[in-house]
Chain A
């Protein structure tokens, strides 16, 4: 693998891409497959992680994201495939010999040690001198804002403080890669937002590669350089947060990342797509003539206009006040759209819908077609807890 990676890298630098920081693949997973009790958890899994990047594995529970992390940490052995670290296969390396550290879901702090000794654990194990340990622990405590907590018992800390100790403990070891397994899942919303900012800051300061696992799409979008969207043990899409949001590859990604109206359509020719009984101009091309496609329109990209003959028309089913905007469910020829608008409309009102060409995103059909992106169940459960299809995954995790 080393020989495969290095030449590729030198070709890039030979071509004079000096503006881009010199990047190195630090971890690469190749053809990984794992199954537990005969059930496939990961299949044909390939992923390269660049040195110094903040990469997020995003997906619903059971998609294999934690398993991926545990394979890299050395806690799960893959059935087949290879794990490379800096070009070297580390398949047979036990966890304690791997240059990665993990922040566990429930922190897994040592309950019999105080904050200082928790953070010092890795350095003690590696036989560092007391002086070295003292200065490093001090540095770590400062970084995570826990100065003065050295002698506190870890079970007398709040969730957020325990989280900080876990971060300090892992980073005190100066790992090349930090693996974070849903580290913010147990925190309340406000604290979670603060920790997101802090983690991102720490990552940028230290330059350590972060591999972050979450089911929270907002968390993934706001923190990551690269997002890996996973479902059913396979990668659905890899890209920057902007790519993932604006150019989802299939209905699963479109639905999992934010709200989406996903409508059946037919691609007539380049830049022309038919859906909802009308013809639209769009910015997508490269599809076969008359190819059936999924059309994604984000709720915030739809403009409400008077119901004249020139636009799509629909009947308002439901209006919910969300603070910044209204969430409007509109029945357009039997398909329920979600529209987020600042304009007030009344239930039962007939409205026109205007969509700009660059707000239409066309995707190839996939196994997920038809399963997401329709808000027809929305109004029925509106009164209860607004069980949106995409909210279900979040609610399950809470």
Chain B
């Protein structure tokens, strides 16, 4: 009974700051400015389908890159001795302690046409590259900012894999590639799922990164929502509707991911 009482503050917190705001978003999405019920907002989202597609596409690319880069790193960290593990994990998290805005500004000044990279290239007599305000710059910003969220869950799953299970696989005749494909990778799928979730969701809904590194040409859903609330196109009802649709889309994406995980768990042996 005691433990229940201890949970009340959290329940109140959840109700006040999670359930009520979510409900408000739903209410706003289905009402017009006068407060009357309408489906116009939701229908209005349709005209931004290209923005949705671009967000999901860029978010997916950033997620895949984070996974491809982050998995080997997490694996290497998990294999090291514990002292080195701590140092490496700290290095992974170090950029996260620096302000998000500052980090992205730094990339701006690196990537600009007259930025540090291009000046360095020029000094070497190499042709300059246009990097800022491209989709590539947005993806780079996403990967840079969100990759720790990929590495950390992967690392925590990989360190938990019992050494003796790996030895058992070797003992049964698996070389290191087969050990990885048949044991380590399938056993780390929960980490892959949560890493993918933790990178994909913020990447899809980001607005600062696209604003600063993508210029006007790479409008993402986040920017769109930002514009409806704080920007020129002030329309909180449409903004809520866009948020709601985004939420549903993310739910669907995660549902698909989890489905994949369950299949992996039961048929992992047939993966290779």
Co-complex (A, B):
yes
* Interface assignment of B123: CB less than 8 Å from any CB of chain A: no
Q: What A residues does B171 contact at CB under 8 A?
A: 73, 95-96, 100-102, 170
User: A110 and B167 in contact (CB under 8 A), knowing A117-B269, A122-B172, A125-B178?
Assistant: no
Selected from A104, A120, A173, the residue in CB contact (under 8 A) with B167 is A104
Evaluate contact between B268 and A121: CB separation under 8 angstroms.
Answer: no
Chain B contacts of A102 at CB under 8 A? 167-168, 171
A-B contact count (CB 8 A): 78
Chain A positions 91 through 124: 1 when the CB is less than 8 Å from some CB of chain B, otherwise 0: 0001111001110111011111110010011101
B19 interfacial by beta-carbon distance below 8 Å: no
In the assembled complex, which residues on chain A have CB atoms less than 8 Å from the CB atom of B266? 114
Q: How many residues of B contact A (CB 8 A)?
A: 23
Q: How far is the CB of B19 from chain A (nearest CB, A)?
A: 35
B167 touches A96 (CB 8 A): no
Whether the Cβ atoms of B183 and A108 lie closer than 8 Å is no
Let me know if B182 and A125 touch, CB within 8 A: yes
- The one of B164, B174, B189, B264 in contact with A106, judged by C-beta atoms closer than 8 angstroms, is B164
With A120-B269, A121-B269 as given contacts, are A108 and B167 in contact (CB-CB < 8 Å)? yes
Q: Output the least CB separation between B218 and chain A (Å).
A: 40
Residue A131 interfacial (CB < 8 Å): no
Chain B window 136-171, contacts with chain A (Cβ cutoff 8 Å), 1 for yes, 0 for no: 000000000000000000000000001011011111
* A126 part of interface (Cβ distance < 8 Å): yes
Residue B175 interfacial (CB < 8 Å): yes
A171-220 residues at the B interface, CB under 8 angstroms: 173
**Chain A interface size, under 10 / 10 to 19 / 20 to 34 / 35 or more:** 20 to 34
B165-200 residues at the A interface, CB under 8 angstroms: 165, 167-175, 178, 182-183, 186-187, 189
Q: Does A361 contact B (CB under 8 A)?
A: no
Cα distance A95–B175 when bound, in Å? 9
On chain B, the residues within 8 Å of A112 by CB distance are: 183, 186-187, 189, 264-265, 268
Interface assignment of A169: CB less than 8 Å from any CB of chain B: yes
| Bound: A292/B167 CA distance, A | 49
Interface positions, chain A 107-150, Cβ under 8 Å from B, are 108-114, 117, 120-122, 124-126
Complex contacts, A111 vs chain B, CB 8 Å? 165, 187
B178 lies within 8 A of A104 (CB): no
B79 to chain A: closest CB distance in Å?
Answer: 16
Chain B residue nearest to A104 in the complex (CB): B164
Bitwise, A69-100 to B at CB < 8 A (1) or not (0) is 00001110000000000000000001111001
By the criterion CB–CB under 8 Å, are B173 and A113 in contact?
Answer: no
How distant is the Cα of A120 from the Cα of B269 in the complex, in angstroms? Answer: 9
* Cα of A294 to Cα of B174 in the assembled complex, Å: 51
Q: Take A96-B173, A96-B174, A173-B173 as given contacts and tell me if A75 and B167 are in contact as well, using a CB distance cutoff of 8 Å.
A: yes
Instruction: Give the chain B neighbours of A170 by CB distance below 8 A.
Output: 171-172
Across the interface, do B175 and A108 meet the contact criterion of CB distance under 8 Å? no
Contacts of A122 in B (CB 8 A): 172-173
B172 surroundings in chain A (CB, below 8 A)? 96, 101, 121-122, 125, 169-170, 173
Let me know if B165 and A108 touch, CB within 8 A: yes
Q: Name B's A-contacting residues (CB within 8 A).
A: 162, 164-165, 167-175, 178, 182-183, 186-187, 189, 264-266, 268-269
Closest 10 A-B residue pairs measured CB to CB?
A117-B269, A122-B172, A108-B164, A108-B168, A95-B170, A112-B268, A125-B173, A125-B174, A102-B171, A112-B186
Give me 20 other A-B pairs in contact (C-beta within 8 A), A96-B171, A108-B164, A169-B168 excluded: A73-B167, A74-B170, A95-B171, A101-B172, A102-B167, A104-B167, A106-B162, A108-B165, A110-B165, A110-B168, A111-B165, A112-B183, A112-B268, A113-B268, A114-B266, A121-B269, A125-B169, A125-B172, A169-B172, A170-B172
